[in-house]
Every structure is written in C-alpha cells, then in structure tokens.
A and B are shown apart, each in its own frame.
Chain A
Amino acid sequence: MKDDLSIRKIQELFYELKVGDVMMKDVITVSSNMQMMELRAILRDNRISGTPVVDDGRLVGIISIEDFINWLAGGQQENRIAGKMNREVKTLYEDEPLVQAISIIEKFGYGRIPVINRRQKSLTGVITKGDIIEGLLKKMEVDYQEEEIHRYRASHFFEDIIADKTTLIFQYFMKGCDAMRNHDVDAVQNGGRVASRIRKTLRRLGIHPTVIRRTCIAIYEAEMNIILYAGAGEITVSIHKDEVNVKVKDSGPGIENIEEAMSPGFSTAPDWVRELGFGAGMGLINIRNCAQTFSIASEKGQGTVLNFGIPIGAA
C-alpha cells in the first residue's frame, strides 16, 4: 500500500514539475559554420555527448558524438557541422510538464532535447534523462523534508498533550487609534503588525502554508478595520486539531447596516485613506472568501464581533 502511494507521488511530480525546472540552463552550443574537428574538443572538454547548433540565437539543429563517429567512418567528407547535423530537431517548451519530455525521450530515443522559451522562441536550455532523474530526486527530497518538519512540529503539540480536546489560544490586544477620525496617517501605514506576528507564530507551529496565508490575509483585513474605525480591539486565535478559529472584537462605532457593509465596494473611508490604498470596501469580503465559516455581529454604538474559521485539512 505504501509502495502504491509513493509511485503515485512520483507520477504526480511528472506533471507538477516543468521542463524549465530541471533542465540544464548553461548550455554549450556550437554554430553550424564550425568545423567538425573542433566539435571533438568541445564534446570532450565539457563531457557531453551532443550539443544544439545555434545560429544568431536560433536553434538550427543538433549534433551528437554519433554524428562525429559517422563522419570519421565516412572518410571525413563535408567538414562543417552544417553538413552533418540533424536538422529535424524535436524541442520542448520550458513550461511543458516533465511527462512530455519523458514521452519524447522514450518515443524517439534521443539523449538530449533542446528547450525553447514559448514566447521568444529562443533556446534556453537542454534536458537529458539525467536532468529529469536529478530534478525528481531533488524535489522528492525537499518535499520529504518539508513534510517531516510539518509532521514533527504539529504532532509534537497536539499528540503529546493527553486530553479529550486540545485547543491552543493566543490573543493580541490592539490599542486602536481611531485613525479615521484622528486623521492618523502613521497608524494606517504601520498596520499589519498583528497579522505579521500571527504569521510567525503559525509558522513555528508548523501549520500548512496555505492555511497560514488564508488566516493571515483575513486577520490583516480585520486588523486594518480596527485601526481605521475602532478605539480598541482584540484578536483571539484558537488552534484546534482541524481548524484555526479567529475572533475579532472591537469597541468601535459598530456597523449600522451589515448587509450594506458586506456589499463589494461599500466604504465610508475618506479620500486620504483611499489614497493610501485602503478603504476600498473589499476587506470584509476578502475575509469571508478566505474563511470557511464567517459570522459578523454588530450594533451601532456597541462595537463589532467577527468570527471566522479556516479548516486546517483544507490545504
């Protein structure tokens, strides 16, 4: 069963990794005007068995050690590479998946395939079987290490604690500055501190990067709302086994019409706030889009309470 899983993982990598990820970028090339005699030294010195032929930045053919041997055997007719190279070159684009490279190598038996940039049509690299194997091994090693770190840290916390239910809670208290009313440009510009601290904490806990990203984008938006609109606020993050839950409570003026506040583009922010790139009426929507559960409760003069949850298994 475990064997099946790892085979499937490699097959996924064939599709996930791109030719450009594993190809050799520093390519030795020759020009079609070059003498066949010179080719021998180039192949030998660079320990390669073939090389693309490039004229004025364009790929015009490919020449291999086999062509060189045939040339020797054939009595050294035709001294320039142009006469001996293979002009029917099979190429790959940088952004094609590895599986494409493998199928071409298998089908045609080529040792190396030149790689072309899709937009500029210029030669950007060469890919060989060796590059593919090396690329896969590197990727598997990196993935494995990341997985190990995640597993160690996360399990360390939740599995070592003996309880029916474990929840880790951390809180952040914000001395809101009512920036909007006080025209506090500095406070607006310096926002994002809580989100940044939470991001670091979640990282240390080994939470999956996608979950961290979604959580912190939502918290950042909530934090900016506190800075802009509220006198003070409090952000509480609870880590459960399967969910990150966030509660954001402020003592601001409250929202008169929640439906209106939740509609895209609705904002009460003045021009100076908008000029800094805030107050565009997208904050609450961003939060809702990042979260799986979302609720908002507010009353005019009573402050606002936001509650949202991001599933940990969702990544």
Chain B
Amino acid sequence: MKIKELIEKLKLKVRCGGSQLDREIARGYASDLMSDVMAHSREGDIWITLQVHLNIVAVACMTGIAAIVLINNREPEKETLEKAEAEGVPLLVSELPAFELIGRLYSLGIPGISEDAE
C-alpha cells in the first residue's frame, strides 16, 4: 500500500515529505528505542514512534525507512521537521495512541517484520 493511501485511510496529518508519498510501504515497525529500530527496520518500512527529536530522521535515513508516524498527536520539533524535509522523509502525525494506530495499520494489510516473505 502506498503512503498516501494510508494517510487517507487513517486520517494522518502530513508534516513534511509531501513529495515522497507515492512510495510503497513494505512492512511496519514500532519502537521508541533508536538502536532497536536500527537493528530491526529495513528499506521501505513504516515506523511508529513517540520520539520527536532530530535523531528519528537520522535513523530513518540510515535504515531506508519510508515514513515515520508520530502517535498521540505529538508534533515533530522544528529541527526534526527541517531535517526531514531536506532528506525527503515523510513525517506523519496520528491522533491515535500507538496500540490503536498499529492495530489499524495491521488490519489494512501492512505486515510486521516477522511476516516478511524474504
């Protein structure tokens, strides 16, 4: 599923990276720990987190994450926003708490990393 379809279906707010929304989402991963995301996330994943600082963009760039979704209406910090825009990483905001957002993503057909058919 494309990022823009998810935005529509889950009423996500786009904070930046609007030109990258045609990318296809491969899998989903949720974590608030940078090292954990680095260890488990891959190219094309959508990442659900509550962290809003600059490092989430760095982590997304290193791993090739396709989009970051911030939960609970948490807004990215100014530097985070600027860096994400420069790197072309879509930052999306959901009003839902993590559990509910992930549940909906899953029921829309986004698989987790253990279901990857590699």
A81 CA to B116 CA in the complex, in Å?
40
Chain B interface main SS type: helix
Task: Type the 1/0 row for A273-286, where 1 means its CB is closer than 8 Å to any CB of B.
Answer: 00011101011011
Is the Cβ of A189 less than 8 Å from the Cβ of B62? Answer: no
Task: Type the 1/0 row for A196-216, where 1 means its CB is closer than 8 Å to any CB of B.
Answer: 100100000000010001001
Is the Cβ of A282 less than 8 Å from the Cβ of B79? Answer: no
Give the residues in chain A near B49, CB-CB below 8 Å: 277
Is the Cβ of B38 less than 8 Å from the Cβ of A189? Answer: no
Is the Cβ of B62 less than 8 Å from the Cβ of A217? Answer: yes
The range of chain B's interface size is 20 to 34
Interface residues of B in 1-60 (CB under 8 A from A): 32-36, 38-39, 43, 49, 51, 53-55, 58-59
Identify B62's interface contact among A118, A190, A216, A276, CB under 8 A.
A216
User: A221 near B: Cβ within 8 Å?
Assistant: yes
User: A68 near B: Cβ within 8 Å?
Assistant: no
Give the residues in chain A near B51, CB-CB below 8 Å: 276-277
Is the Cβ of A213 less than 8 Å from the Cβ of B62? Answer: yes
Is the Cβ of A199 less than 8 Å from the Cβ of B61? Answer: yes
User: B88 near A: Cβ within 8 Å?
Assistant: no
Identify B39's interface contact among A190, A199, A282, CB under 8 A.
A282
Is the Cβ of A196 less than 8 Å from the Cβ of B61? Answer: yes
Shortest C-beta distance, B68 to chain A (Å), equals 13
Give the residues in chain A near B43, CB-CB below 8 Å: 209, 213
Chain A interface main SS type: helix
Question: Which partner residue on chain B sits nearest A219 by CB separation?
Answer: B62
A118 CA to B38 CA in the complex, in Å?
29
Identify A220's interface contact among B33, B54, B59, CB under 8 A.
B59
A195 CA to B39 CA in the complex, in Å?
15
User: A117 near B: Cβ within 8 Å?
Assistant: yes
For A119, A220, A286, the residue with the greatest tally of chain B CB atoms inside 10 Å of its CB is A220
The range of chain A's interface size is 20 to 34
Shortest C-beta distance, A232 to chain B (Å), equals 20
Question: Which partner residue on chain A sits nearest B80 by CB separation?
Answer: A189
A209 CA to B55 CA in the complex, in Å?
21
User: B73 near A: Cβ within 8 Å?
Assistant: no
Q: Contacts A189-B53, A189-B55, A217-B38 given: A282-B61 contact, CB under 8 Å?
A: no
Interface residues of B (CB under 8 A from A): 32-36, 38-39, 43, 49, 51, 53-55, 58-59, 61-64, 77, 79, 107, 109, 117
8 closest cross-chain pairs (CB), A and B = A192-B58, A282-B35, A189-B53, A119-B109, A216-B62, A277-B34, A217-B38, A277-B51
27 pairs from A and B in contact (CB 8 Å cutoff): A118-B109, A119-B107, A189-B77, A190-B55, A191-B55, A192-B55, A192-B62, A195-B58, A195-B62, A213-B62, A217-B39, A217-B62, A221-B35, A221-B38, A276-B51, A277-B32, A277-B33, A278-B33, A278-B35, A280-B33, A280-B35, A280-B36, A282-B35, A282-B36, A283-B35, A286-B35, A286-B38
Q: A119-B107, A192-B62 are in contact. List 8 more A-B contacts (CB 8 A).
A: A95-B117, A117-B109, A189-B55, A217-B39, A217-B63, A276-B51, A283-B35, A286-B35
